[in-house]
């Protein structure tokens, strides 16, 4: 790859291991051209998994200060990983990653981006043990994302497949599952311009391959979405996790370029 950028990067402001500056130093050491920070948006329903409101203001200030400090060495962007039920001020960011990590069930925010046993419990408690109903609920939720915010990048589109290499909560090859996913993507097409190939589950040992699944990538390619590659980084040692594999995956389904954020906006860069 010619250009290394990661726009999905967490720090100690939320659930990451590195400080903002520590992450920048690792990015430089790994040969990145730029790095964008995407702290978890404040979630009143999950304060332990998000930036605090006060922390969010500090985060914005610190990332802006680092952008100046490292000018000429590495480009820095200030973004946000927006969870769709966050009710927060969305101003002051260079870009926004839109995500769904919670299902809203009977007024309760149910977090499924945890461990496989937590997911098994959710399927048992809320979906009568039927994993396919859980998958349907996720994609119906995801389809609502544009009603909550205008976002640039669809984050981990099939997040519920985080455990799909080891657990069989639902059959990802079945037409019914694929229809749920593609119905959601159809609802999002034209409303969110970019998506990410996400490698975060690899560095955390949940998966060996990046996701989304190739059937989703093919749909996104056919429907004009632009691709980004991200490591959903919570530990700077894994900032470049499987970027080259992700480029190969994108090429295998017909993508010829990825999109990179510059000061002037997103630009296409060839994958060759
Ligand atoms: Zn996420
Ligand atoms: Zn993330």
Residue 228 and residue 210: Cα distance in Å, rounded? 12
Q: What is the mean pLDDT of residues 195-212?
A: 95
- Answer yes or no: are the C-beta atoms of 12 and 85 closer than 8 Å: no
- 175 has pLDDT over 90: yes
Surrounding ion ligand 2 within 5 Å at CB are 81, 232
Residue 80 and residue 194: Cα distance in Å, rounded? 15
- Ligand closest to Cα of 16 equals 2
pLDDT given for residue 152 in this prediction:
98
End-to-end CA distance of the chain: 7
- 2 has pLDDT over 90: no
Q: What is the mean pLDDT of residues 155-166?
A: 96
Residue 232 and residue 238: Cα distance in Å, rounded? 9
Query: How far away, in angstroms, is 73 Cα from ligand 2 center?
Result: 25
Query: How far away, in angstroms, is 184 Cα from ligand 1 center?
Result: 17
The rounded mean pLDDT for the chain is: 97
Surrounding ion ligand 1 within 5 Å at CB are 99
Residue 151 and residue 98: Cα distance in Å, rounded? 5
pLDDT given for residue 151 in this prediction:
98
Query: How far away, in angstroms, is 97 Cα from ligand 1 center?
Result: 9
- Beta-carbon neighbour count of residue 175 at 10 Å? 9
pLDDT given for residue 18 in this prediction:
98
- Ligand closest to Cα of 232 equals 2
pLDDT given for residue 111 in this prediction:
97
The band of 35, judged by pLDDT with boundaries at 50, 70 and 90, is very high
Angle made by CA atoms 86, 161, 216, in degrees to the nearest 5: 90
Query: How far away, in angstroms, is 82 Cα from ligand 1 center?
Result: 9
For the stretch 69-97, pLDDT in tens is 999 999 999 999 999 999 999 999 999 99
Query: How far away, in angstroms, is 240 Cα from ligand 2 center?
Result: 14
Q: Are strands 265-270 and 257-262 parallel, antiparallel or unpaired?
A: antiparallel
Contacts of residue 122, defined as CB under 8 A and 6 or more positions apart, other chains included, come to 103, 110, 112, 134
Instruction: Determine the 3-state secondary structure of 40 from DSSP.
Output: strand
Q: What is the mean pLDDT of residues 229-251?
A: 97
Query: How far away, in angstroms, is 234 Cα from ligand 1 center?
Result: 10
Domains annotated for the chain, with CATH where assigned, are 5-270 (3.20.20.140)
Query: How far away, in angstroms, is 239 Cα from ligand 2 center?
Result: 12
- Kindly write down the DSSP assignment for every residue of 92-140, as one continuous string: S-SEEEEE--EEEETTEEEE-SS-HHHHHHHHHHHHTT-HHHHHHHHHH
- 256 has pLDDT over 90: yes
């Amino acid at each position: 790859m010619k250009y290394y950028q990661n726009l999905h990067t967490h720090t100690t402001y939320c659930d990451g291991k590195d400080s903002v500056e520590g992450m920048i130093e690792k990015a430089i050491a790994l040969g990145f051209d730029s790095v964008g920070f995407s702290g978890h948006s404040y979630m009143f329903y999950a304060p332990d998994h998000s930036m605090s409101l006060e922390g969010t203001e500090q985060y914005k200030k610190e990332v802006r200060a680092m952008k100046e400090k490292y000018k000429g060495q590495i480009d820095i962007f200030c973004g946000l990983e927006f969870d769709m039920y966050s009710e927060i001020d969305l101003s002051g960011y260079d870009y926004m990653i839109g995500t769904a990590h919670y299902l809203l069930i009977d007024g309760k925010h149910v977090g499924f981006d945890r461990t496989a046993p937590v997911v098994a419990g959710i399927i048992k408690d809320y979906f009568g043990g039927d994993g396919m109903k859980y998958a349907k609920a996720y994609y119906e939720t995801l389809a609502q994302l544009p009603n909550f915010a205008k976002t640039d990048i669809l984050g981990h589109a099939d997040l519920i497949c985080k455990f799909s290499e080891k657990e069989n909560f639902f059959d990802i090859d079945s037409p019914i599952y694929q229809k749920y996913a593609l119905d959601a993507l159809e609802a999002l097409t034209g409303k969110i311009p970019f998506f990410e190939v996400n490698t975060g589950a690899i560095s955390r040992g949940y998966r060996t391959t990046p996701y989304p699944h190739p059937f989703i990538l093919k749909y996104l390619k056919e429907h004009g979405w632009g691709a980004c590659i991200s490591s959903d980084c919570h530990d700077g040692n894994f900032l470049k996790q499987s970027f080259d594999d992700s480029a190969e995956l994108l090429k295998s389904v017909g993508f010829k370029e990825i999109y990179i954020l510059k000061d002037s906006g997103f630009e296409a860069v060839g994958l060759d």
